[in-house]
Each structure stands twice: as structure tokens, then as C-alpha cells.
Amino acid sequence: MRPTLVDVAKAASVSPATVDRVINDRPGASARTRSQVLEAARRLGYLSDSDVPISAALRVTFLLPQGTNAYIADLARQAREQAQFQRGIDVSIERPRALDPQGLADALVRCAESADAIVMVALNHPSVREAMRALAGAGVTVLTLASDISDAPRDAFVGIDNGQAGRLAGYTLGRFLGRSPQGTVALFAGSLGYRGHQEREMGFRQVMAEDYPQLEVLELRESREDRAKAHGETLRLMEDHPDLVGIYNAGGATVGIAAALEDSGAAGRIAFIAHEVTAENKPYLLSGTVDAVIDQNARAQIQEVYKVLSAVSYGQRYEPEPTQLRLILRENLPAV
């Protein structure tokens, strides 16, 4: 027996009137509700793929923090450049103040009035979680990018396994230091407000404890993604810890740390592992000041974001592929 409109309504947990609005492409249904209805209609055989209506463009807002983090700038550039090739998606990009959870929460609430979907680099804070809950209740699609909040409602996370990235950093640093290394190791993060930076620290410390217990890992320092602050902290570290043999930077401001190593004459003597290949840190890789970076490929991440959004616009679901970690050395530098 052919499924009815009522069957679709039950399967999608909405009213028959809502199903009627979606099927006939009339206003009054959110992007999430539309996705649920069309997915149920397709699954039950009420609609075939060719019958699925294409409605007005999905309105998408990217919330990418301000600041000097070159990786975030790459995400913004890729989002803008790839938007022109997306059918049925209308993109805007906003740059809220970096490391300001209340400002991000306010931006989420404000954008919910004009966006069907929001893509954001998440800050792990109660205000942000509450705003995400409000968006879910309003039927707005939410994607977290690069840094996640797994205990708040969101439709997908696009990014790397940050715990694995931290472990890779620890293993790589240990290998660069040779057999039975001795001394202290410094650890930087942009901000522990980013869950991704917390996870990287955890993974790094796990490998240090498991494989290099003779190395002392110092207390983490937050650069706040400020290059001048990172520069000054690095100089103080070397003064306070003359036995410093390695640095892992889990966040941005890599160029500040690298410049401090060069200014002090410690470049090449202290092993330095960081994140992301950018135009700014590429010279430090070439010179050997930075030994290796763990790259997550902003272009590939934005491609996955648009695959998720495209599926939403057609009432389908798409589970993004986890971003593959790339260990980049001087000899395999990609074009940036």
C-alpha cells in the first residue's frame, strides 16, 4: 500500500499540515523540519529523489573568530571561495571577537533570526551551550568546526580527532629528541576555552607519560592566540628552564614562539612541534626553527562542511568524513 501524508507525518514526528507545507514547498517550516520530512518521505517511498522539491536557498552563517590565527583566516577564505560553487546555499561570514564566549553566544542567538544553519568554531562555555540548545529548539542546523562541544546539540562536527593530534605531537617530539632524552618540555595552547586544545594537551601528556617519562612536561601556558604574548612567554621559559629541550604549541601564535627561538639563538637546538601549515609559519619550517606541524587542511574541512549543508538543503543526511591528520616536515611542504 502506498504511504500517505499521515504516514510521513508520523515518521517525521510532525503534523500533517507541516508535511503538506514541506512537500508543496510553502514557507513556515525550518530547515531542520524540512530535512526530517523529506528524509521520511524518501525513506517511506512517498517521494522519489527526483520528486524532492528544491526550495529557496539555505541561509548559512559562518561564525569564525577574529584575530591573527592564520588557520582561522584560511577557513574564512575557503568558506568564501567555495561558496560560489554551492547550489542552493546562501553564505555569510561573521567574525565575532576571539575567545569571548558571551559574545559568541550572543552572535548565535542573533544569527538564528536570519540563518537556517550556523557553522562555528565552538568555545566550551555554558553560555555557548545554552545558545546551542536554543538554536536546536528553533530548528536551526548547527555545525561545529575544528573545535567541538559534544554535550550540546549540534548536527555534525567537522574536524580532526584532537586527542589523536596531541598524541601524534608527543610521539613526533619524542622522536626528534632522540634516544632517552632528558630535560623539560613546554606546552602552549591558544585557550583552554577550546575543547580541541584541551584534548590535544591530554593526548600529548599521555604519550609523554607512556613513552618519555624522563622528560618533565611543564605547566601549560595559554598564548590567547597573541603572538607578542607567546614571544615573551617563550623567552621567559628559556630563561627559567635552561634545560628546555622541546616545545609543543597546540594552538595559534606559532610565529611568536618561532621568532623567540630565533631571537635567542635557540632555533634548531630546541625541538618545536606546532599545528597548521600557513604562509606565515612556512619560512620557519624551511629554516628548521619549526621541526614539524600537524596540519588539518582547511580546504578539505570546508568541503566537508558544504557536503553536510548541501545534504540539509535537499532533506538528506551526510555524515562528514573525519579530517585526516597530516604530519608536515620541510621536505613535504604543500602549497599554501
pLDDT digits (tens, 9 = 90+) for 38-82: 878 888 888 876 666 655 689 999 999 999 899 999 999 999 999
Mean pLDDT, rounded, of the chain = 92
Judged against a pLDDT cut of 70, whether residue 32 lies above it is answered with: no
What are 100's three cell numbers?
569571548
Per-residue pLDDT, 55: 56
Percent residues over pLDDT 70 in the chain: 96
DSSP bridge pairs for 158: 145
Residues forming a β-bridge with 244: 184
Tens of pLDDT, residue by residue over 177-204, are 998 899 999 999 999 999 999 999 999 9
Q: In this predicted structure, what is the pLDDT of residue 150?
A: 83
Q: Are 275 and 325 in contact (CB under 8 A)?
A: no
With a cut of 70, say whether residue 255 has pLDDT above it.
yes
Instruction: Write out the E strands in the chain.
Output: 58-63, 89-94, 117-120, 141-145, 156-158, 183-189, 215-217, 221-222, 244-249, 271-275, 292-295, 326-328
Other C-beta atoms closer than 10 Å to the C-beta of 126 total 10
Q: What is the pLDDT of residue 174?
A: 97
Is 70 exceeded by the pLDDT of residue 265? yes
DSSP 8-state symbol, 96: P
Backbone φ and ψ for 142, nearest 5 degrees, come out as -125, 125
Which carries the bigger pLDDT value, residue 212 or residue 11? 212
Asked whether the predicted pLDDT for residue 28 surpasses 70, the reply is no
Round to whole Å and give the CA distance between 325 and 164: 9
Instruction: State how far the Cα of 220 lies from the Cα of 278, in Å rounded to an integer.
Output: 24
Identify whether the C-beta of residue 157 lies closer than 8 Å to the C-beta of residue 150: yes
Confidence category of residue 22, pLDDT binned at 50, 70, 90 = confident
The domains of the chain, with CATH numbers, are 5-51 (1.10.260.40), 58-159+298-323 (3.40.50.2300), 162-295 (3.40.50.2300)
C-alpha 118/C-alpha 108 separation (Å) is: 8
pLDDT value, residue 50:
65
Contact of 94 with 61, CB cutoff 8 Å: yes
Q: What is the pLDDT of residue 158?
A: 97
Please state the rounded mean pLDDT for residues 303-331: 92
Question: Does position 271 have pLDDT exceeding 80, yes or no?
Answer: yes
Reduced to 3 states (helix: H, G, I; strand: E, B; else coil), residue 325 is: coil
Kindly state the cell numbers that stand for 73.
583566516
- Position 37 pLDDT exceeds 90: no
pLDDT in tens, 102-141: 999 999 999 988 899 999 999 999 999 999 999 998 889 9
pLDDT in tens, 148-164: 998 899 999 999 999 99
Asked if the model's pLDDT at residue 273 lies above 90, the reply is yes
Write down the pLDDT at residue 48: 77
| pTM for this predicted structure | 0.84
Considering the chain, what percentage of its residues have pLDDT values greater than 90?
A: 75
How far is it, in rounded angstroms, from Cα 172 to Cα 277?
A: 16
Q: What is the pLDDT of residue 16?
A: 85
* pLDDT for res 175: 96
Cα separation of 55 and 24, whole Å?
9
pLDDT given for residue 113 in this prediction: 84
pLDDT beyond 60 at 165? yes
